[in-house]
Structure 1
Amino acid sequence: MIRVLVVDDSAIMRKLIVDILKEEKDIEVVDTAKNGREAIEKAKALKPDVITLDIEMPEMDGLEALKILKKEVPSAKVIMFSSLTQEGAKATIEALALGAYDFVPKPSTKSFLESVKQIKDQLIPKIKSVVPIKRISLIYRPSPVKKVLKRDNFNVLGIGVSTGGPQTLMQIIPKLPKNFPVPILIVQHMPPIFTRQLAERLDSLSQLKVKEGEQGEPVKSGVVYIAPGDFHMVVKKENEIHKIRLHQGPPRNFCRPAVDELFESIAETYDGSSVGLILTGMGSDGKEGAKKIKEQGGVILAQDAETSVVFGMPKAVIEAGLADEVLSLEQIPQRLKEIFKVQENAKRDV
């Protein structure tokens, strides 16, 4: 049983969430709380596996409560409930940076049945992904990082990431120098507004320019492009210039944006000079795209089990035999600098 504490200042939302969770045989609601202070006291006493935490609450809001919960009940995974607004998205990115496990957008529809469906479809899989990883096989452990690759020149880096992505990206992108010699394209599974807030947050922390990808813009070295929520982001070569194209084709792996769409496009447009990096996340999005990159002679890196928040996407790539290297989160920034031959002594802005 996965034990859950539900925290929301709205009695209606608390009941709605509790009723949804009670339908699941492997989930137990241990209690509810109506504000951050009450949540902290009940979490300390009950030691739940998961806490669903509203951001906007009286007495103590979700962000303040999260900071304390991470210290007092570090084993609990916190899933934030966020409004679909600029301020809500900004607070959610802050929560993820503070160590929240994931988030669920509050329903924007007035239909009760549709609201129930939206919450159930997003919340239940995220709660059920909170399962201890059995780290048995050596294949999931980090590789030696001085592996000799088949080629020595690479022209693009694609990154696919989902659950645990914001905090993981914040430990990678800010560690790359301003003179990073290739473009970086990222698919992070997130709704609209949230991807823009993530880009702005990463941009404020990094030497590299970080932005949402825009329709038709040329892809430039030293720039990080994040796929906008609800749009697939691909790269097309037009008159020898690589350009970003956005489209709203069908979701793949239940995702839009999808990692497979991005990876397949860079495999095609950059031939064998592409590197794909699969980070923490649920599901298997990225596996088919990684296969295309490998078929073209590119390289695939995967995050290890130990440092993944959810070892789904990397595991799918590793078990398919597509990963050239399995790296811990701590190894990734330095390994990227080695693969792309970053001149460490180059002048850097302060």
Structure 2
Amino acid sequence: MIAPGPVRVLLCDDSAAARAVMSRMLATDPGIKVIAKATDGGDALAQLTAMPAAERPQVVLLDLEMPRMDGMTALPLLLKAAPNTAIIVASALSQRGAAATMAALRAGAVDYVPKPSAAAGGISGGQFQAELVAKVKGWARMRRPAVPSAARPAPPPVSVARPMVAERPAGSAQRPRAIAIGSSTGGPQALAALVARLDRPLGAPVIVVQHMPAGFTTLLADHLNRIGTLPCSEAKEGDKLLPGRLYLAPGDKHLLVKDVAGVLVAQLGDGPPENFCRPAVDPMLRSLVTACQGRLLVAILTGMGSDGLAGCRAVAGAGGAVLAQDEASSVVWGMPGAVAKAGIATAILSVEDIAGRILAAGADGKRT
């Protein structure tokens, strides 16, 4: 069992400035401790393997572009040396960086943090710090070995507007006309787990908003296309949203849906960010409530903040069904937690069970 205490982090970046800034950011949270800093992948591997097993980092923050040994070369070696360590890669905000990030996720990294360029103001922004801290703590919790029941403290009560085991009435028994998914921090892995389980034809399109920069969503769509049986693509202006296909909102564009002569059609918007995000979940859901007249099934997955809460209120008010990912399987229980605590979730489920509900609702006409 891992001893209690701050999350232990090994920070690997060839830039001394980046190491210093990220170290200071992490030090603002008493639940995190940077125990080692490395200048390249080989240095990180040497430091990690020299540590006693009980003192090794729970999280490695790994830059991908470094001299001598880069992050992609180091990644499998670090995972072999410490299989339970969560590796979060730091990626440049570029097409090349996006491609490297997706390759790293396929190779075993759990997540990524986009590292803004110096031209964009460096990595000193508050949003970057919040995301960095949330991902480090969230993934450390997800990778922590289970505590034996005899030693496990009683969990604190969960403040939700209804019992966790209960389920709200589902509303209309009609097949949903669209299935909508919203996700953020930890979302790429949650989406991959969900999409891999959607292994039967669906009678409705699946429309996804994942908080991601431009360039990254194109490659995420390709990543999901390889994993599941549903064809997946980044949505384009004027796309007819066809049943049995998955459409991902492009980075830096709101994805809205309109009914045009009985056909659901994608519209991309440059409106202001909502909940500090573009794409955002709320505008997608508002448009879908109107286009589908409430015939919706919505799943809110892991993520920081409360994007999707207002939209889910509108969905529930129109008779649609809302599923929220449970806290145990969420890297950050912000977005799904907000929906759960508001009492508007039809059910609070693991990703695996959410996939089952989607299949049941979309494949054979049953509603959750």
TM (normalized to structure 1)?
A: 0.86
* Corresponding letter in the other structure for 1:93: M
Q: Which amino acid aligns with 2:65?
A: E
Name the structure 2 match of 1:259.
281
CA separation of 1:227 and 1:34: change in aligned 2, threshold 3 A: same
Residues 142-161 of structure 1: CA deviation (Å, up to 9, x unaligned) = 8589x876414211100001
Is it true that 1:291 corresponds to 2:313 in the alignment?
yes
Matched, 1:63 2:68: no
Contact map agreement 2:113 2:131 (CA 8 A) in 1: no
Tell me the secondary structure at the aligned position of residue 363 of structure 2: coil
Q: Which residue of structure 2 lines up, in the alignment, with residue 174 of structure 1? A: 196
1:91 aligns with 2:96: no
**How far, CA to CA, are the matches of 2:364 and 2:79 in structure 1?**
36
SS at match of 2:193: coil
| In structure 2, C-alpha distance between the alignment counterparts of 1:243 and 1:24, rounded to whole Å | 45
Find 1:313's aligned residue among 306, 313, 335.
335
How much is the aligned-residue C-alpha RMSD, in angstroms? Answer: 2.9
| Matching of residues 2-151 of structure 1 within 5 Å | 2-22=7-27, 27-43=32-48, 45=51, 46-70=55-79, 72-73=81-82, 76-110=85-119, 114-118=121-125, 120-128=126-134, 130=137, 132=141, 136-137=156-157, 150-151=172-173
- The residue matched to 1:257 in structure 2 has which SS? coil
Contact 2:221 2:248 in 1 (8 A): yes
2:348 is matched with which residue? 326
CA-CA distance at 1:68 after TM superposition: 4.2
Count of paired positions: 340
Inter-partner Cα distance in structure 2 for 1:285 and 1:69: 35
Q: Secondary structure of the residue that 1:340 maps to in structure 2?
A: helix
- In structure 2, which of residues 209, 218, 227 is the aligned counterpart of residue 187 of structure 1? 209
Corresponding residue SS for 2:119: coil
The question of whether the paired residues in 1 share the 8 Å contact of 2:197 and 2:352 is answered with no
- Once the two structures are overlaid, the 10-residue window that deviates more, 299-308 or 237-246, is 237-246
* Residue type at the aligned position of 1:164: G
CA contact (8 A) 2:182 2:301 kept: yes
| Percent of residue pairs identical | 37
Q: Distance in 2 between matches of 1:280 and 1:184?
A: 17
Pick from 204, 207, 212 the counterpart of residue 234 of structure 2.
212
Q: Counterpart of 1:216 in 2: which secondary structure?
A: coil
Change over 3 Å in CA distance of 1:96–1:165 after alignment to 2: farther
Whole-angstrom distance in 1 between the partners of 2:43 and 2:252: 36
Shift of 1:103: 2.1
One-letter amino acid of the structure 1 residue matched with residue 245 of structure 2: V
Q: Runs of 5+ in structure 2 lacking a partner?
A: 1-5, 143-153
Secondary structure at the residue paired with 1:40? Answer: helix
**Against the structure 1 CA distance between its residues 149 and 318, is the aligned structure 2 distance closer, same or farther, given a 3 Å change threshold?**
same
Determine the C-alpha separation between the residues in 2 that align with 1:69 and 1:202.
Answer: 25
